[in-house]
Amino acid sequence: MSDRDEFGAFLVGFIVGGLTGAVVALLFAPQSGEETRALIKDKSIELRDKAQQSTEEALARAEATAQEARARADELAKQLRERSKEVYDDVRERGKTAVESLRKPKKSDEAPAA
């Protein structure tokens, strides 16, 4: 989430900086009002397109990251299931061995043959 917050702050700074630069450039440019309005319109369209492109790229990166996280979580869940089955089988086998050893009479407990 920290990367997302940093990107959001960067995007806001980028937009504000771009607008500030455009306004300063327009105020000090020796142009007529009509030319200035046309330039403002062109720059605003260009800025909007850049912001839209940046947003689309950020969304694509977020989707790719989410997909990678889901794949990794699925892989870890699979490994956990396999390992838990191994542990279960091992415990079950040890339990069977323990029960069988308790059921078998020890040689010292056996009655002598007549």
Summarised one tens digit per residue, pLDDT across range 29-74 is 777 778 878 888 898 899 899 889 989 999 999 999 999 999 999 9
Residues 29-68 as b or e (16 or more Cβ within 10 Å = b): eeeeeeeeeeeeeebeeeeeeeeeeeeeebeeeeeeeeee
Determine phi and psi for 17, rounding to 5 degrees. Answer: -65, -40
- For the entire predicted model, the pTM comes to 0.46
Summarised one tens digit per residue, pLDDT across range 87-111 is 999 999 998 998 888 887 766 555 5
Band the pLDDT of 20: cuts 50, 70, 90.
confident
Measured distance between the N- and C-terminal CA atoms of the chain, rounded to whole angstroms: 82
Is the alpha carbon torsion for 26, 30, 31, 33 positive or negative? positive
How far apart CA 101 and CA 80 sit, in angstroms, is 31
